[in-house]
Amino acid sequence: MAKITLNKNNFFNNLDIIARFTKTKDKIALVLKDNAYGHGLLEMAGMAQEYGVKKAVVQHCEEAKRIERFFDYILVLAEIPHAKSEKIRYTINDLHSIAKFPHATLVELKVDTGMHRNGIAMRELKEAFAKIKEQGLVLEGVFTHHRSADELSSEWFWQTDNFKKVKQEAKELAEEFGFGKLRFHSSNSAALFRNTDFSEDMARVGIAAYGCMELPHAISVEGFKPVLSLYAQKISSRKLKKGDCVGYGGTYEAHQDCVVGNFDFGYGDGFLRICSNNYKTPHARQLVGRISMDNSSFLCEDEEILIFDDALQVAKVAQTISYEVLTSLKPYIKREII
Ligand SMILES: *Cc1c(COP(=O)(O)O)cnc(C)c1O
């Protein structure tokens, strides 16, 4: 069976760097959505707790329930709950959804400051506060998300200005409607590192914690180390004669007599099929032929191979981002903390 190893030292190293920017561990909200970016929800939650992370962010209620015992605070980004919870906060993404939240639910309001994906419009702020009050919800926070924090452009600055205005207005509205002190946050990984003097209440950090962040040179931060490595086991091997072809469609033709090993990691397990015929492992084992559902073939005689130890390298070949490489990894692959 293919196997994932999770390097605890590397994870803690990444959290150390993040904590330098947030200035305290208490302001790290670790994003654990999508099975902790493919790393394994419970494995990462357990290690985060050991490090002293107290906050987590997930997409759905079900994920939040599974990690409730590890954290003091969990933010659900995109699901309306059936009942309120002590630890779990739920996001309001749309003005019309407010009426669907159960009475007394702890909520945070997402505001659209320019990404135009989720969140209420800036001009709807007062109406949202009134509706939240009317529904009897407990508003604890107001947040936004940057659309281009990882690009060198002016967009970062106008979105930051927009959120400044939102914060000011929200503070006034909180007093007017009798809500307590609000929590404000706007930073994902890239945005956190653009702050020279971080002063928000928390940062929602995903990819940096997993050590697979790629930023333009001018705004990059050194020292992150990938947490996840993926290994595959040999199922079988064979000697090929010059001219023999490998796999579906016979798309790889042996240039000379060689040995091809076939390993138990295919696109059904999360190996992006676009890498077919076009990938070399960190130990220079060449992938040959098409990746199939549960198999991929390499020019080598090893019993076990390291497929990757840095998702960014696979992402480059697949012309995608590390996030997609990682979240493609199926939950049933065995995870081991080292
Ligand atoms: C996924 C997500 C994050 C984390 O982003 P990274 O780039 O992985 O740090 C933060 N906030 C929201 C709303 C998200 O959806």
Cα angle 155, 157, 162; round to 5: 95
Task: Decide if 316 contacts 303 (C-beta within 8 A).
Answer: no
215: which 2 tokens? Answer: 């930023």
Whether 153 has a pLDDT exceeding 90, the answer reads no
Q: Residue 207: CB within 6 Å of ligand 1?
A: yes
Q: Residue 204: CB within 6 Å of ligand 1?
A: yes
CA dihedral for 179, 204, 25, 38, sign (positive or negative): positive
Q: Residue 88: CB within 6 Å of ligand 1?
A: no
Extract long-range pairs of 316-322: CB within 8 Å, 24+ residues apart: 317/274, 317/275, 317/278, 317/279, 318/272, 318/274, 318/275, 319/274, 320/272, 321/214, 322/207, 322/210, 322/212, 322/213, 322/214
User: How many alpha carbons lie under 13 Å from residue 189 in its C-beta half-sphere?
Assistant: 21
Mean per-residue pLDDT, 188-213: 95
What pLDDT sits at residue 181? 97
Distance CA(93)–CA(95), nearest Å, equals 7
What pLDDT sits at residue 118? 95
Split at pLDDT 50, 70, 90, the class of 160 is: very high
The reply to whether the predicted model has a pTM over 0.75 is: yes
97: which 2 tokens? Answer: 């959804």
| Active-site residue list | 33, 248
What pLDDT sits at residue 195? 84
Superfamily of domain 228-337: Lyase, Ornithine Decarboxylase; Chain A, domain 1 (2.40.37.10)
Whether 159 has a pLDDT exceeding 90, the answer reads yes
Split at pLDDT 50, 70, 90, the class of 154 is: confident
225: which 2 tokens? Answer: 């180390």
Distance 188 CA to ligand 1 centre (A): 5
What pLDDT sits at residue 155? 87
Intra-chain end-to-end CA distance of the chain, in Å = 18
Closest atom, ligand 1, to C-alpha of 145: 13
Domain(s) labelled CATH 2.40.37.10 in the chain stretch across 228-337
Closest atom, ligand 1, to C-alpha of 37: 8
Split at pLDDT 50, 70, 90, the class of 156 is: confident
Q: Residue 56: CB within 6 Å of ligand 1?
A: no
Q: Which of 111, 188, 202 to mutate to test the pocket of ligand 1 (most atoms within 8 A of CB)?
A: 188
Token pair 């040959």: residue: 288
pLDDT tens-digit map of 126-143? 999 999 999 999 999 999
Closest atom, ligand 1, to C-alpha of 323: 8
What pLDDT sits at residue 36? 98
How far, in whole angstroms, is CA 47 from its chain's centroid? 16
Q: Residue 77: CB within 6 Å of ligand 1?
A: yes
* Mean residue pLDDT across the chain: 97
Please state, in angstroms and as integers, the Cα–Cα distance from residue 253 to each residue in 27, 248, 280, following that order.
Answer: 54, 12, 17
pLDDT tens-digit map of 73-121? 999 999 999 999 999 999 999 999 999 999 999 999 999 999 999 999 9
Domain(s) labelled CATH 3.20.20.10 in the chain stretch across 8-219
Task: Decide if 187 contacts 207 (C-beta within 8 A).
Answer: no
> Which fold is adopted by the domain 8-219?
TIM Barrel (3.20.20)
Mean per-residue pLDDT, 272-287: 98
